[in-house]
């Protein structure tokens, strides 16, 4: 399995699309978390988000600010990464090439999931790093003191971010196995994350009781609750304290394991066309 | 001694379509076995089942003595239905990635690239390879593990005549070195020079099996002489009526070719003008076609 993990890591790292996704992630995180809010403050505009004043952009808010994107828009990018990593083998027909070299299907699959988990950690660390730099720059520009979150908070935040990011990558992986392709799983995954989740939360849940109840069991709202519990700003899409942080962490972890397991069962059972 | 390939009652159905039916295939250690059949006969499906990529509807497979679905494929190299690699990596890096799965070193990568004559272009991205180069890389990947059993599905697809000749040489060399080779093809002529035995599959069933000479059938002589009627009558007297057939304005005689000189003397002595007398080669593709037709008719 360590052989498979190394091979998968090489494929992931050498693939141009991986770097493009990372770049987009960091640019999005930077722009929406720091650049626009800071531009608003610096320009003196009084918008609907005036609550998001300067203190919200300083280094001591690093954990919440770095987690805010993961429930929806950075999560979508990790979903795409998951689909690409697994679905690429279907798209290029390379499953047979890999499997005839000897490894079992589950070895290859496990290698992929580990590589995805490592990539998710790298993405989360990069988001924290970019946020740290941005907040320090803002603090020094505004002559504010630089105080960091405690090491414990930082580690909890990185851990929670890693959990959410990996869960979305696993959703991408299981969609790719289920649909044996790249394009359709990416499309359906994004429709779910960007449209359906929002419609449920914004329109259906306030009107229909059981939808509101069911929401509490879905991956998105739980990821949003986990981020909210750790200080993510409540005006970020998808971030809302629907359930408690502890429960949210357990549910997100359960989805992570569930997605991985369903993918494994499907991959093992079905023919490799 | 474990047989490299042994299947019993191997069957695969896709909905109402039976792709492979009740196939008993045996490949012996050290032989080069040609697996022949027209488009859609079930060759690729069979080979996929051998490798555990496709689950049989019924029947069993043993590969080097073990069921392939049970675990890792060891000692087996394969190219199934065209090459497939990562387009963003070079040929060499593709093989390096595969070498990690296979657990072999970088020295094997260089060696197999050399075997298929791809060393010069190994640093280029796979996406830019020509069809023949892709095919060569596919064969290189199949050889990566230095397999005891090599399974090649139409390895000469997309190769130019020189490439096809290279491929035959390679297969013959591997066979001589003790590697068991199972190679599929549409063309009997393409594999006859390298195969010890061939099996013919039509509509999912094995319709014939044996050496190329056995499949080709009994030898004979082809005779062109004037007048034809008189020549036919004389030939019937000489070798027996049941051994003489009139085909395409000439005669086909089911006799050993070494009797040509004697026959010639007799016919010329009888006042006939012999224009041509030569060993009859049954056209291989005709043989193949007949076998497939016969197999298909039997199934119908
Ligand atoms: N995944 C599949 N789903 C449905 N039918 C299939 C599938 N795979 C193969 N078949 C059918 O099984 C039959 C055998 O196909 P197969 O690919 O084994 O033929 P082949 O002998 O390799 O042909 P060719 O010489 O064209 O490569 C065909 O009728 C094909 O349509
Ligand atoms: Mg085929």
What is the predicted pLDDT for the residue at A172? 97
- Ligand 1 geometric centre to CA of B45 (Å): 6
CATH 3.40.50.300 fits B5-215, yes or no: yes
- B182 neighbourhood in chain A, CB within 8 Å: none
Give the end-to-end CA distance of chain B in Å, rounded to a whole number: 38
Give the CA radius of gyration of chain B: 24
Domain boundaries, chain B: 5-215, 218-280
Name the superfamily (CATH) of residues B218-280: YebC, transcriptional regulation domain (3.30.70.980)
Contact check, Cβ <8 Å, A16/B51: no
User: Which numbered ligand comes closest to the C-alpha of A271?
Assistant: 1
- pTM exceeds cut of 0.90: no
User: Mean pLDDT for each consecutive 10-residue tract of chain B (300 residues)?
Assistant: 90 95 95 93 96 94 84 88 96 97 93 94 96 94 95 91 90 92 89 89 91 78 88 88 85 84 89 87 72 72
Q: Which of the 8 DSSP states describes residue B280?
A: P
Angle at which helices A73-91 and A16-30 cross, to 10°: 170
User: Residue B91: CA atoms inside 13 Å, Cβ hemisphere, count?
Assistant: 29
Task: Name the phi and psi angles at A46, rounded to 5.
Answer: -100, 95
Distance separating alpha carbons of residues A152 and B29, to the nearest angstrom: 63
Direct distance between the N- and C-terminal alpha carbons of chain A, in angstroms, rounded to an integer = 24
Q: Are A70 and A227 in contact (CB under 8 A)?
A: yes
Identify the pLDDT of residue A44. 65
> For residue A104, what pLDDT is reported?
93
- Strand, helix or coil at B23? strand
pLDDT digits (tens, 9 = 90+) for B86-115: 999 999 999 999 999 999 998 999 999 999
Q: What is the secondary structure of chain A as a DSSP string?
A: -HHHHHHHHHHHHH-HHHHHHHHHHHHHHHIIIIIHHHHHHHTT---TTTTS-GGGGSGGGHHHHHHTTTTTHHHHHHHHHHHHHHHHHHHTT-HHHHHTTS--HHHHHHHHHHHHHHHHHHHHHHHHHHHHHHHHHHHHHTT----PPPHHHHHHHHHHHHHHHHHHHHHHHHHHHHHTSSHHHHHHHHIIIIIIHHHIIIIIHHH-HHHHHHHTTSHHHHHHHHHHHTT--TTSTT---SS-HHHHHHHHHHHHHHHHHHHHHHHHHS---
C-alpha span between A31 and B274 (Å, rounded): 95
Residue with tokens 């006939």: B272
Task: Give the number of beta-carbon pairs within 8 Å between A and B.
Answer: 92
DSSP calls for B67-129: -GGGS---SEEEE-SS----TTSBHHHHHHHHHHHHT--HHHHHHHHHHTT-GGGTTSBGGG-
Pocket test for ligand 1, best of B15, B16, B19 (most atoms within 8 A of CB): B19
Residues of chain A with pLDDT under 50: 49-50
In this prediction, residue B197 carries a pLDDT of 93
Residues A101-144: tens digit of each pLDDT: 999 999 999 999 999 999 999 999 999 999 999 999 999 998 88
Q: Where are the domains of chain A?
A: 2-269
Identify the pLDDT of residue B299: 61
CA distance A227 to B233: 100
CB-CB neighbors (< 8 A) of A95 in chain B:
53
Q: For ligand 1, is residue B6 a contact (CB within 6 Å)? A: no
Q: Could you identify the residue written with the tokens 């290189």?
A: B140
Q: How far is the CA of B67 from the centre of ligand 2 (A)?
A: 22
Say yes or no for a CB contact (<8 Å) between A97 and B53.
no
The answer to whether B148 faces chain A, any CB pair under 8 Å, is: no
């Amino acid at each position: 399995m360590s052989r498979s993990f190394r091979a998968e890591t090489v494929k992931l790292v050498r693939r141009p699309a991986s770097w493009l996704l990372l770049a987009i992630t960091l640019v999005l995180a930077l722009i929406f978390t720091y650049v626009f809010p800071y531009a608003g403050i610096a320009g003196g505009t009084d918008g609907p988000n005036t609550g998001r004043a300067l203190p919200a952009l300083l280094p001591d808010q690093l954990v919440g600010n770095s987690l805010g994107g993961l429930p929806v828009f950075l999560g979508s990018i990790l979903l795409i990464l998951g689909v690409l990593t697994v679905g690429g083998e279907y798209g290029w027909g390379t499953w047979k090439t890999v499997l005839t070299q000897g490894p079992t299907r589950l070895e290859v699959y496990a290698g992929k999931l580990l590589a995805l988990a490592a990539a998710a950690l790298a993405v989360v660390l990069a988001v924290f790093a970019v946020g740290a730099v941005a907040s320090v720059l803002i603090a020094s520009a505004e002559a504010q003191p630089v105080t960091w979150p405690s090491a414990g908070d930082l580690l909890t935040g990185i851990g929670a971010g890693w959990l959410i990011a990996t869960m979305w990558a696993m959703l991408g992986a299981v969609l790719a196995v289920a649909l044996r392709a790249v394009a359709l799983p990416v499309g359906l995954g994004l429709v779910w994350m960007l449209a359906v989740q929002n419609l449920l939360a914004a329109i259906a849940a306030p009107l229909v009781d059981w939808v509101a109840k069911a929401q509490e069991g879905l991956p998105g709202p739980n990821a949003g609750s986990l981020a909210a519990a750790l200080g993510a700003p409540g005006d970020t899409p998808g971030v809302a304290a629907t359930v408690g942080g502890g429960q949210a962490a357990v549910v997100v972890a359960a989805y992570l394991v569930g997605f991985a397991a369903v993918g494994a069962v499907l991959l093992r059972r079905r023919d490799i066309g | 001694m474990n047989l490299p390939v042994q299947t019993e009652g191997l069957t695969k159905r896709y909905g109402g379509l039976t792709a492979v039916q009740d196939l008993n295939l045996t490949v012996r250690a050290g032989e080069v076995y040609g697996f022949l059949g027209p488009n859609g006969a079930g060759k690729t499906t069979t080979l996929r089942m051998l490798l555990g990529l496709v689950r049989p509807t019924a029947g069993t497979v043993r590969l080097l003595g073990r069921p392939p679905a049970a675990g890792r494929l060891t000692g087996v190299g394969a190219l199934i239905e065209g090459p497939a690699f990562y387009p963003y990596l070079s040929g060499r890096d593709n093989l390096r990635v595969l070498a990690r799965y296979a657990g072999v070193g970088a020295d094997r990568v260089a060696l197999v690239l050399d075997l298929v004559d791809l060393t010069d272009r190994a640093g280029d991205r796979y996406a830019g390879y020509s069809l023949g180069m892709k095919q060569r890389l596919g064969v290189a990947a199949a050889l990566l593990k230095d397999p005891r059993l090599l399974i090649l599905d139409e390895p000469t697809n997309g190769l130019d005549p020189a490439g096809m000749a290279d491929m035959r040489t390679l297969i013959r060399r591997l066979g001589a070195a003790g590697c068991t080779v199972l190679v599929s093809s549409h063309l009997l002529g393409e594999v006859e020079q390298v195969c010890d035995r061939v099996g013919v599959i039509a509509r999912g069933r094995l319709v014939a099996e044996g050496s190329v000479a056995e499949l080709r059938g009994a030898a004979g002589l082809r005779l062109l002489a004037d007048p034809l009627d008189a020549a036919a009558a004389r030939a019937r007297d000489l070798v027996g009526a049941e051994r003489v057939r009139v085909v395409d304005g000439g005669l086909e005689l089911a006799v050993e070719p070494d009797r040509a000189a004697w026959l010639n003397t007799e016919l010329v002595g009888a006042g006939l003008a012999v224009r041509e007398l030569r060993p009859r080669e049954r056209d291989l593709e005709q043989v193949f076609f007949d076998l497939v037709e016969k197999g298909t008719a039997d199934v119908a």
